[in-house]
């Protein structure tokens, strides 16, 4: 029986494990955090549930194939939509209100919301990872950070075969194939510090290291009142405002008790990088001030609690060289994740994980 080690329990890692269900592989997912989900992250506090990483997952496009900044034809996600609205549909909710836009001067406009569903779960987007985990038959080891890998020779009955040694904090394990799913900079770092001495290792590390990333802060601001507004979220269309995104979690069924409001504010990548190390309360006050100014609503200066989440490697701005990554299979090494397909989106990570899982299944 082949042993498959998957590094990372985000959507891509768990989708890889899901695609391997029913095979005779022994699949283990190593996740460094205490819960799965990665950047499909959800927190809860005071009866509120809020998505602090990805805001929602997109369904299939409408028929004209247009989809804002995704209009380059990479996304044809009927299969992902089918899965989300089928086997992974438990607790799935669609956000009905549209996304509006604003520009650098703070002018709001209705923008052009497409018809495709904006999905999350009653329990937040993390439920997607939880359901993938449940539906797979993999062993998932949380709080288990992979700190190193090495390739070594092994005897398998009469056969000599190479295998992977996977170092985790406090021990090591072995695998016949390894699937990397952390963000590209972490993947590059792990390859860089690997004792695996082969030109292919250098090529793979360089391919991962070349992927540029945006840093983002995510600030949850809670208010003990709610007002009726015509939109779910506001997105900065000219990328020239200190705020990039404001989402109203109360538009997601089951997220915020009646009569309350919870905004998830994401400052722009430049602002986020500049203020990344500021104290939480300073970031929260700054985000609330800018939100109040943008909304023209003085009540928004005064939130009653806040939470700040930092994402240093938030969104890949390009994809890795997939031809180079595909050569990893020569050494029983595979890759999945949003950066592999070059699109920082949940549906892209899900699709990438499914595709990689299928490739590993063929390799078995």
Residues contributing to the site for ligand FAD (CB under 6 A):
7-13, 30-33, 38-40, 53-58, 145-146, 181-183, 186, 216, 218, 266, 311, 314-315, 337-338, 344-347, 349
Q: Please, which residue, 71 or 302, has the CB nearer to ligand FAD?
A: 71
Query: What is the nearest approach in angstroms of ligand FAD to the Cβ of residue 95?
Result: 10
Q: Please, which residue, 124 or 182, has the CB nearer to ligand FAD?
A: 182
Q: Please, which residue, 62 or 297, has the CB nearer to ligand FAD?
A: 62
How would you class 157 by CB atoms within 10 Å of its CB: exposed for 0-12, middle for 13-18, buried for 19 or more?
Answer: exposed
Q: Please, which residue, 40 or 92, has the CB nearer to ligand FAD?
A: 40
Query: What is the nearest approach in angstroms of ligand FAD to the Cβ of residue 39?
Result: 3
Query: What is the nearest approach in angstroms of ligand FAD to the Cβ of residue 57?
Result: 5
Q: Say how far apart CA 12 and CA 18 lie, in whole Å.
A: 10
Query: What is the nearest approach in angstroms of ligand FAD to the Cβ of residue 68?
Result: 11
Give the number of residues written for the chain.
364
Q: Please, which residue, 181 or 261, has the CB nearer to ligand FAD?
A: 181
Query: What is the nearest approach in angstroms of ligand FAD to the Cβ of residue 245?
Result: 8
User: What kind and span of H or E run contains 19?
Assistant: helix 11-19
> Are the beta carbons of 92 and 80 closer than 8 angstroms?
no
Q: Say how far apart CA 164 and CA 30 lie, in whole Å.
A: 14
Closest-CA residue to 88 (of 126, 141, 32, 42): 126
Q: Please, which residue, 10 or 319, has the CB nearer to ligand FAD?
A: 10
Q: Say how far apart CA 120 and CA 262 lie, in whole Å.
A: 16
What does residue 254 show for φ and ψ, rounded to 5 degrees?
A: 85, 0
Distances in Å between the alpha carbon of 267 and those of 27, 102, 236, 283, 317? 38, 13, 10, 10, 17
Q: Say how far apart CA 24 and CA 224 lie, in whole Å.
A: 52
Query: What is the nearest approach in angstroms of ligand FAD to the Cβ of residue 314?
Result: 4
Query: What is the nearest approach in angstroms of ligand FAD to the Cβ of residue 29?
Result: 9
Strand order of the β-sheet with 233-236 is 108-109, 99-102, 233-236, 243-248, 261-267, 213-223, 305-316
Q: Please, which residue, 62 or 227, has the CB nearer to ligand FAD?
A: 62
Closest-CA residue to 248 (of 109, 43, 99, 103): 99
């Amino acid at each position: 029986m082949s042993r498959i080690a998957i590094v990372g329990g985000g959507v891509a890692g768990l989708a890889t494990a899901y695609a391997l269900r029913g095979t005779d592989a022994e699949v283990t997912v190593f996740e460094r955090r205490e819960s799965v989900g990665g950047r499909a992250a959800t927190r809860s506090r005071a009866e509120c549930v809020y998505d602090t990483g990805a805001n929602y997952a997109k369904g299939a496009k409408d028929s004209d194939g247009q989809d804002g900044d995704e209009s380059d034809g990479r996304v044809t996600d009927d299969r992902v939509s089918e899965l989300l609205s089928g086997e992974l549909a438990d607790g799935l909710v669609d956000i009905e209100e549209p996304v509006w836009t604003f520009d650098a001067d703070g002018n709001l406009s209705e923008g052009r919301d497409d018809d495709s569903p904006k999905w999350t779960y009653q329990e937040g987007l993390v439920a997607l990872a939880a359901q993938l985990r449940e539906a797979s038959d993999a062993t998932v080891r949380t709080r288990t950070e992979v700190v190193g890998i090495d390739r070594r020779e092994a005897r398998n009955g009469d056969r000599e075969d190479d295998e992977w040694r996977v170092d985790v904090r406090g021990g090591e394990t072995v695998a016949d194939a390894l699937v990397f799913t952390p963000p590209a900079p972490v993947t590059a770092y792990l390859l860089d510090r690997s004792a695996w001495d082969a030109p292919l290792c250098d090529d793979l590390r360089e391919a991962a290291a070349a992927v540029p990333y945006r840093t983002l802060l995510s600030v949850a601001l809670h208010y003990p009142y709610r007002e009726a507004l015509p939109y779910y979220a506001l997105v900065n269309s000219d990328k020239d405002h200190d705020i990039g995104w404001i989402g109203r979690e109360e538009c997601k069924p089951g997220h915020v008790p009646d009569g309350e409001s919870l905004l998830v504010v994401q400052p722009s990548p430049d602002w986020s990088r500049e203020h990344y190390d500021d104290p939480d309360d300073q970031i929260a006050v700054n985000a609330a001030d800018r939100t109040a100014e943008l909304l023209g609503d003085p009540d928004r200066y005064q939130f009653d609690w806040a939470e700040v989440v930092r994402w240093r490697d938030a969104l890949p701005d390009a994809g890795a060289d997939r031809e180079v990554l595909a050569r990893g299979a020569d050494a029983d090494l595979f890759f999945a994740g949003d950066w592999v397909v070059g699109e920082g989106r949940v549906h892209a990570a899900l699709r990438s994980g499914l595709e990689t899982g299928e490739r590993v299944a063929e390799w078995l």
